[in-house]
Amino acid sequence: MTGQRGDLMRTRYENQLVRLNEALIEMGGMVEKAIANAVTAMVDQNVELARSTIEYDQEVDNMEKEIESLCLKLILQQQPVARDLRLISSALKMITDLERIGDHAEDISELTILLSGKAYVKKLEHIPRMAAEASKMVTESIEAFVKKDLDLAREVMRYDDKVDDLFDSVRNELVEYMRENSGDSDQAIDLLMIAKYFERIGDHAKNVAEWVEFSLTGSHKDHKIM
């Protein structure tokens, strides 16, 4: 009987780990959708889509709570071994970054609504590219976690430099615009803030990749933890 109970507990534990992976993939997909909708709303100045993106953030928050609850159950009920404990604790850290990415998509959408009453002062080029690169980082960081792909996680970390370079391009262009059009700088400042949010999304995706590295190696930012 004891053996049967142990087998059942192990099966339940393994099923919960599978669900954890599935939930992380789902949350990753949700924040990708939030980013995509925020970008489309921004480029098209689509107020209705921006508002729905703001509302969608609640679903991202709910998914974070679901994953957090699952992680805590795994820790408290299943007493995972060291490697699995690293994986579960990494997931707890990752969902915080994913939730912040969802928040930034909401922030961008709020600025889109604020800017909707007037055409953009400049053609948007680098900001949509930043969004695409940051979204790719989010996708690949989650993929690295699910596939336990350390090389991919480290590639995501390095990729953050590309998003930072694009932000520098946006900043330089908008600063130059403000110098030449000192009386019409409010919108440029808001666009710069949007670019900053995309840079932060890249930073959070990098954080996710760093926690993937920790889950696989026990090291985080060159410091051995467990």
pLDDT digits (tens, 9 = 90+) for 88-117: 999 999 999 999 999 999 999 999 999 998
Angle at CA of residue 197, ends 132 and 71, nearest 5° = 85
8 vs 152, residue with greater confidence: 152
Q: Read off the pTM.
A: 0.89
Which range of residues forms the domain containing residue 205?
2-224
Domain CATH for 62: 1.20.58.220
User: How confident is the model over 28-38, as pLDDT tens digits?
Assistant: 999 999 999 99
Domain total for the chain? 1
pLDDT band at 196 (very low <50, low <70, confident <90, very high): very high
